[in-house]
DNA sequence: AAATATTTTAATCAGTTGATTAAAATATTT
DNA sequence: AAATATTTTAATCAACTGATTAAAATATTT
């Protein structure tokens, strides 16, 4: 048997296809994506896709798991760090999340959409529950405001970070901000969000 | 020429198809919706759909305009009312929006998604810019915080109201809340959001 | 009630889409 | 270099999808 082919190209065909799939799937969603779109984006033949990944479904599964990890993987260790204060957590989450989402602007809408069309399938595979109920961060929130369901604050934190990226197409198309102004606005929020969250946690 | 056929059924075939289209389109999105799904949901033949609406595209256009009006139509008059204070506006927006979205839970994700895949097409048809830049509410926000881009606060208000509905599939599937608990949580936010927004507007 | 117009249906079409296949091209081993 | 294994391609398939059509059923007008 011959060994795996020497990689002479910059990137292997398989990786080219995965990269194309990342782009097209996150941009258009599963249903609107045709396997031919992916092959074309990769500059390769359609049959290659099925040769390497067996099916559109299987390729999507791979990309989706990657993207879920990308979106939820960041927050878990930050929210669960026993060595940081709540304020430090807020700063870290706002900063790191905003940086990551700036480089992957349509990641949130993509994930939220695919989860809605197939909830059990993907949510069960991530330790999402921990963010919302078992984390160190939740404990710290409960200490400060035992009178309010901590879920409210988690929703607010994530919403403040994520929602601008979800609303971006509307903001840009309705002329509220171009790409540059959006980037500047988003950057301001790294400092503002921790400030705001502290404020709403004190509000009575 | 005969006059329009007497409606003996409870609802006309045309309205049955529109109602089915509302349901299926908002649930699955344009791309994942097959015209046969809509016909079946309406309990009618596929040819009827093309007979009444000419094409999937045209039927979608009708539903989409309805849904845009439903989502953005509420907020414009509230945000632009010169007779109410900012605080009254916040209370009215939180309350009315949450009620409307409770009855149309997947409206936000549907709209945001379709706008992303076709921004110019739909945004231009709504006076969305007014919410963000020209409204009375924006003026009132500027008065209180001339040092911060008012867009931040509009994003926060809308995010606090809308984001829970977008995140609901994750919350429910990850076991954070069932439908009843989600409804209760959302209801609490009617009072909490105006409180929170006032708090973040004071935060320094 | 007959004639005319409208609504509804079943059958079918053409284009698209995910997937397969067999053969050609390329790489690896002997 | 010959033999063998792997990778890539063009051609093709079957199922699906949006749309059309012609005829049947129903309603309206005369």
Q: Answer for the pair B30, A117: CB distance below 8 angstroms, yes or no.
A: no
pLDDT confidence bin for A150, thresholds 50/70/90: very high
Task: Say how far apart CA A192 and CA B150 lie, in whole Å.
Answer: 13
pLDDT for the residue B124: 85
Please compute the mean of the pLDDT values over residues B35-56 and round it to a whole number: 94
* CA A202 to C1' C25, whole Å: 70
Report the gap between the CA of B91 and the closest CA in chain A (Å).
Answer: 15
pLDDT for the residue B10: 53
Tell whether the torsion through CA atoms of A182, A183, A188 and A194 is positive or negative.
Answer: positive
B7-16 pLDDT, tens digit per residue, is 334 568 889 9
> ipTM of this predicted complex?
0.91
User: Does A134 score more than 90 pLDDT?
Assistant: no
Report the gap between the CA of B199 and the closest CA in chain A (Å).
Answer: 6
A166-182 pLDDT, tens digit per residue, is 999 999 999 999 999 99
Chain A residues whose CB is inside 8 A of the B150 CB are: none
Please compute the mean of the pLDDT values over residues A180-188 and round it to a whole number: 98
When CB atoms are compared, the residue of B31, B151, B185 closest to A151 is B185
When CB atoms are compared, the residue of B112, B158, B176 closest to A151 is B176
pLDDT for the residue B3: 33
pLDDT for the residue B133: 86
pLDDT for the residue A7: 35
For chain B, give the mean pLDDT.
Answer: 92
Please compute the mean of the pLDDT values over residues A79-92 and round it to a whole number: 97
B10-34 pLDDT, tens digit per residue, is 568 889 999 999 999 999 999 999 9
Task: Say how far apart CA B93 and CA B39 lie, in whole Å.
Answer: 36
Q: Answer for the pair A17, A41: CB distance below 8 angstroms, yes or no.
A: no
Instruction: Find which of B128, B199, B204 to mutate to test the A interface (most A CBs within 10 Å of its CB).
Output: B199
Nearest alpha-carbon partner for A159 in B52, B71, B196, B82: B196
Please compute the mean of the pLDDT values over residues A47-62 and round it to a whole number: 95
Verify if strand C has an atom below 7 Å from the CB of A34: yes
For chain A, give the mean pLDDT.
Answer: 92
From residue B52, give the alpha-carbon distance in Å to each of B18, B32, B34, B37. Answer: 10, 21, 16, 16
> A-B interface: how many C-beta pairs under 8 angstroms?
155
Please compute the mean of the pLDDT values over residues B170-177 and round it to a whole number: 94
User: Does A100 score more than 60 pLDDT?
Assistant: yes
Domain A10-61: top CATH class: mainly alpha
Q: Where are the domains of chain A?
A: 10-61, 74-202
B108-134 pLDDT, tens digit per residue, is 999 999 999 999 898 888 888 888 888
Please compute the mean of the pLDDT values over residues A44-72 and round it to a whole number: 95
How many C-beta atoms surround the C-beta of residue B169 within 10 A?
A: 23
User: Does A60 score more than 70 pLDDT?
Assistant: yes
Please compute the mean of the pLDDT values over residues A123-130 and round it to a whole number: 83
Q: Answer for the pair A154, B142: CB distance below 8 angstroms, yes or no.
A: no
B52-86 pLDDT, tens digit per residue, is 999 999 999 999 999 999 999 999 999 999 999 99
From residue A35, give the alpha-carbon distance in Å to each of A27, B14, B79, B116. Answer: 14, 35, 44, 21
A85: Cα separation from own chain's centroid: 24
> CA of B174: which chain A residue's CA is closest?
A129
Q: Answer for the pair B162, B106: CB distance below 8 angstroms, yes or no.
A: no
Q: What are phi and psi of B182, to 5 degrees?
A: -60, -45
Task: Say how far apart CA B130 and CA B132 lie, in whole Å.
Answer: 5
pLDDT for the residue A10: 54
Report the gap between the CA of B85 and the closest CA in chain A (Å).
Answer: 20
pLDDT confidence bin for A1, thresholds 50/70/90: very low
Please compute the mean of the pLDDT values over residues A127-156 and round it to a whole number: 94
User: Does B107 score more than 80 pLDDT?
Assistant: yes
Task: Say how far apart CA A157 and CA B55 lie, in whole Å.
Answer: 43
pLDDT for the residue B136: 96
- The verdict on a CB contact (< 8 Å) between A112 and B175 is no
Superfamily of domain B9-60: Homeodomain-like (1.10.10.60)
Nucleotides of strand D lying closer than 7 angstroms to a protein CB: 4-11, 16-22, 27-29
Q: Answer for the pair B86, B144: CB distance below 8 angstroms, yes or no.
A: yes
Q: Answer for the pair B26, B107: CB distance below 8 angstroms, yes or no.
A: yes
* CA B78 to C1' C21, whole Å: 63
pLDDT for the residue B76: 92
From residue B6, give the alpha-carbon distance in Å to each of B49, B168, B192. Answer: 20, 43, 51
- The verdict on a CB contact (< 8 Å) between B109 and A106 is no
Q: Supply the Cα-derived Rg of chain B in whole angstroms.
A: 20
Instruction: Find which of B30, B129, B163 to mutate to test the A interface (most A CBs within 10 Å of its CB).
Output: B163
Please compute the mean of the pLDDT values over residues A48-66 and round it to a whole number: 95
């Amino acid at each position: 048997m011959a060994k795996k082919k020497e990689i002479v190209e910059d990137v292997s065909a398989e990786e080219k296809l995965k990269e194309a799939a990342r782009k097209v799937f996150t941009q258009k969603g599963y249903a609107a994506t045709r396997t031919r779109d992916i092959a074309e984006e990769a500059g390769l033949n359609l049959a290659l896709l099925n040769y390497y990944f067996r099916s559109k479904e299987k390729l999507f599964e791979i990309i989706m798991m990657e993207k879920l990890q990308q979106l939820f993987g960041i927050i878990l260790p930050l929210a669960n760090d026993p060595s940081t204060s709540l304020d430090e957590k807020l700063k870290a989450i706002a900063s790191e999340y905003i940086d990551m989402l700036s480089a992957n602007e349509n990641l949130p809408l993509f994930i939220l959409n695919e989860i809605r069309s197939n909830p059990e399938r993907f949510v069960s595979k991530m330790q999402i529950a921990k963010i919302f109920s078992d984390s160190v961060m939740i404990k710290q929130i409960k200490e400060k405001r035992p009178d309010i369901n901590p879920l409210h604050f988690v929703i607010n934190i994530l919403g403040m970070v994520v929602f601008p990226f979800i609303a971006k197409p509307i903001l840009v198309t309705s002329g509220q901000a171009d790409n540059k102004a959006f980037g500047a606005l988003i950057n301001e929020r790294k400092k503002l969000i921790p400030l705001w969250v502290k404020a709403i946690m004190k509000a009575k």
